[in-house]
Amino acid sequence: MVIENTDISGITADTTGNFTFPERNKYDSGFGITEKTVDYISDVKGDPDWIREFRKKALKIFLDKPMPTHWATKDLENIKFDEFRYYLSDGQKPKRSWDDVPEDVKKTFDRLGIPEQERKFLAGVEAQYDSEAAYSNIKAAVAEQGVIFVNSTEGLKEHPEIFRKWFGKVIPTGDNKFSALNSAVFSGGSFIYVPPGVKVKHPLQAYFRINSEQFGQFERTLIIADEGSEVMYMEGCTAPKFETATLHSAVVELVAMKGAKIQYVTVQNWSSNVFNLVTKRGIAHEDAVVKWIDCNIGSRLTMKYPGVIMKGKRARGEVISIALANSGQHQDTGAKMVHAADDTTSNVISKSISIGEGRSTYRGLVHIPKHLKGCKNNTECDALLINSKSRTDTYPAISVRGNQHATQHEASVSQVSADQIFYLMQRGLTEAEAMSLSVNGFINDLAKEFPMEYSVELKRLIDLEMEGSVG
Amino acid sequence: MSLKITNLHAGLPDREILKGLNLEVKPGEVHAIMGPNGSGKSTLSKVMAGHDDYAVTSGEVMLDDINLLELSVDARARAGLFLAFQYPHEIPGVSNANFLRAAKKARLPEGEEIDAIKFYKEMYARMDALEMDRSFTSRSVNEGFSGGEKKRNEILQLMMLEPKYAVLDETDSGLDIDALKIVARGVNAMRSPDRGFLLITHYQRLLDYIQPDFVHVLMDGKIVHSGGRELALELEAKGYDWLKEEELATA
Ligand SMILES: Nc1ncnc2c1ncn2[C@@H]1O[C@H](COP(=O)(O)OP(=O)(O)OP(=O)(O)O)[C@@H](O)[C@H]1O
Ligand SMILES: [Mg+2]
């Protein structure tokens, strides 16, 4: 692995993230996961007892639960849990100023363009490096409104009265094997609380960076938007490409109280050795909105089905997702919409792109029970195939009981034909540019849902993927 | 300096379509190619452009001093070859303006950006010349365009990209009389001492509006007869059978 030591001045963001620095970990939990690992993490973090217990219970559930290979890909069996390290950190507290962040770490985030984005358009940033946040800051004006934006450890220690009320409530530990794993060894991630009526104008952003080899990152995020408040949270992630596998397994819980609105934007660009197994769910109370905007590029296997439980009347849940699977990648994504009150509305728009031998799978679940009325769901899933080896599968499951609801489901599969590429190339575009333009055309209507800075970023990531795919 | 095709043999793996074709288009000249359906006209245009359905077994295609057959499709285009397609492709979700911009940018040195104001000014002027509504800038390339609108859009691209040599494959088919005149006007405006044209057509009518310097007849993969403008009139009157007989007689 190349050890980078270059001066970052004048470097535009390296969004591939394919670079690494030497490890300088004071704390290393070692390989494998046992009760000792959990104790080690709890000791290092100085967890309160209830968290230590929470972790241990979770560990047991994780070890007991089989891999979900009865419905999911057999590739999961290639995850060797003994070959990962579950906690790595340099033992430093997150810094409030980039100047105080250790040099290598600062260079990493500089190179990824984070401080620059922070200056330009963010209300706050948390930058996680392996297991812990290296930098965490919120603009004074936003903090003065009472907004809390800290990492999960700080959240559970400093704000237990809010944290404890919701932590693990949206996604129970035993939801699935990986939510249990996360619950056992979680570290980092964000805790956000937005007080009633506060509308956070600019997005809060977290960036999750994996630097070390044979490592698993398990951040845990909990966002609570109190009544009538609004917040947009954005997360980005990258890791270097190692020969060995990397594991990323996050749990994200959102709570939108009455009339609140949470938008959660993800632009992930994992290298192709990452198993990315993430559980994300939100609860929307009366008149609240939870919207997931999820863009999955890269990784060896991504399994992620953001969900919304519409618990209060007129609540709204949305999942807008874009997944791009290049050769050697499998994007297994979708959405889970649970209607639990009258007049709730859900909207799922999923676009997947499969290139070369890349594989995309859509899994959707829409649940509307019989006793409700006036619920609406719209599901659209479109797949784009670039070259005949690509593969796409759709598993929509819409269980609608009763007849007082309106649901609509559309699915399409289209091809970027050789003739379309020929046409574009005849106008002077390279093959990569032609593919990139075709893909951008396909997701065009969804890219508009992203904040401007992120849709530019998205376009750039697609360009890079296409360059890589034509070699 | 010319677009020069020498003894070109090309076709599908199991079937030769072009069987020793010779043709030279010099800058400033307009050549028309006519010929029966299935004689290989579109194949010729696609082989020149580098479509990988076709393999060249022998012969040469030179664009000035560049050997086109050695280049990729996009490099041929950037070298100055433009093909107005008989059946232009639709590109869903990509606006005409973005497409043109990407195509123009592809011709700039690495890292250089398009001057957006200049670009829009030029595009609007070209569209006005082709009597294309401004709404076509934001519509997806060719998607939902009528047959005639697609052809007009091909000419818009030709005008924006200013190639050295342009091959127009049946740009006239599908056009109504007024559109034909407008498209012809567009092409005529692009005629210049530095630019050569190859028009593939079935109808003499187009040649009333875009007057060619030479007319060739392509039959069974070869140019079997060449002449001046009057040849087009003769073909319109007599069809192609007499040439078949002539060819047989000389064979
Ligand atoms: N990709 C292809 N696959 C199969 N056959 C092909 C292909 N391309 C060309 N051909 C065949 O080669 C012959 C020449 O086709 P081409 O399209 O060049 O004719 P054309 O002269 O342009 O005809 P038209 O006047 O009808 O447009 C036809 O018989 C056609 O069916
Ligand atoms: Mg033809």
The CATH number linked to B183 is: 3.40.50.300
Q: Read off the pTM.
A: 0.87
Residues of chain B in contact with residue A444, where contact means CB-CB under 8 angstroms, are 93-94
DSSP state of B63: E
DSSP state of B170: S
All residue ranges of chain B with pLDDT < 50 are none
Amino acid letter at A81? F
Amino acid letter at A25? N
Nearest residue (CA) to ligand 1, atom 6:
B12
Q: Where are the alpha helices (DSSP H) in A149-216?
A: 152-158, 160-166, 177-185
For residues A86 and A211, membership in a common domain is answered with yes
For A68, other C-beta atoms within 10 Å of its C-beta total: 14
Residues of chain B in contact with residue A414, where contact means CB-CB under 8 angstroms, are 92
Q: Residue A212 in contact with residue A88, Cβ under 8 Å? A: yes
CB contact under 8 A, B82 and A426: yes
Taking the Cβ of residue A436 and every Cβ of chain B, the question of whether any pair is shorter than 8 Å is answered with no
Residue ending a domain, among A240, A273, A304, is A304
- A264 assigned to some structural domain: yes
The pLDDT assigned to A471 comes to: 59
Token pair listed for A426: 């005849």
Tell me which chain A residue has its CA closest to the CA of residue B48: A426
The pLDDT assigned to B248 comes to: 66
The pLDDT assigned to A13 comes to: 61
**Segments forming the whole domain that contains residue B243:** 3-250
B 166-225 → A contacts, CB under 8 A: none
Q: Where are the alpha helices (DSSP H) in A146-258?
A: 152-158, 160-166, 177-185
- A105 assigned to some structural domain: yes
Q: Which residues surround ligand 2, an ion (CB under 5 A)?
A: B 41-42, 86
Backbone angles phi, psi at B247, to 5 degrees: -65, -40
Cα–Cα dist B181/B208, whole Å: 10
Quote the strand ranges of A243-386, DSSP E: 246-248, 251-256, 261-270, 274-284, 289-298, 301-304, 307-310, 316-325, 330-339, 345-355, 359-368, 376-386
Residues of chain A in contact with residue B93, where contact means CB-CB under 8 angstroms, are 440-445
The residues facing A398 across adjacent strands are: A366
Nearest residue (CA) to ligand 1, atom 4:
B12
Cα–Cα dist A237/A350, whole Å: 20
Amino acid letter at B203? Y
Alpha carbon of A336: minimum distance to chain B alpha carbons (Å)? 27
Report CA-CA distances (Å) from A434 to A298, A312, A422, A450, B111.
Answer: 20, 46, 8, 23, 18
Residue ending a domain, among A304, A337, A358, is A304
Indicate if ipTM > 0.85.
Answer: yes
Amino acid letter at A89? S
Cα–Cα dist B206/B31, whole Å: 12
What is the B43 CA–ligand 1 centroid distance (Å)? 6
Give me the number of domains chain A comprises: 2
- A410 assigned to some structural domain: no
All residue ranges of chain A with pLDDT < 70 are 1-15, 388-389, 471
Q: Please enumerate, as own/partner, the contacts of B241-246 that have beta carbons within 8 Å and a separation of 24 or more.
A: B243/B217, B243/B219, B244/B219
CB contact under 8 A, B94 and A437: yes
- The whole-angstrom distance between residue B228's C-alpha and the CA centroid of its chain comes to 20
Give me the number of domains chain B comprises: 1
Alpha carbon of B76: minimum distance to chain A alpha carbons (Å)? 8
Residues having CB closer than 6 A to ligand 1 are: B 12, 17, 35, 37-43, 53
CB contact under 8 A, B93 and A423: no
Residue ending a domain, among A304, A329, A349, is A304
**Segments forming the whole domain that contains residue A292:** 27-304
Q: Residue A468 in contact with residue A355, Cβ under 8 Å? A: no
CB contact under 8 A, A443 and B77: no
- The whole-angstrom distance between residue B5's C-alpha and the CA centroid of its chain comes to 15
Cα–Cα dist B218/B220, whole Å: 7
Cα–Cα dist A280/A296, whole Å: 14
Residue B74 has its nearest CB partner, among A414, A428, A440, at: A428
Cα–Cα dist A187/A203, whole Å: 23
CB pairs under 8 A between A and B: 77
Tell me which chain A residue has its CA closest to the CA of residue B154: A427
DSSP state of A184: H
Cα–Cα dist A12/A179, whole Å: 36
Nearest residue (CA) to ligand 1, atom 30:
B38
What is the A229 CA–ligand 1 centroid distance (Å)? 64
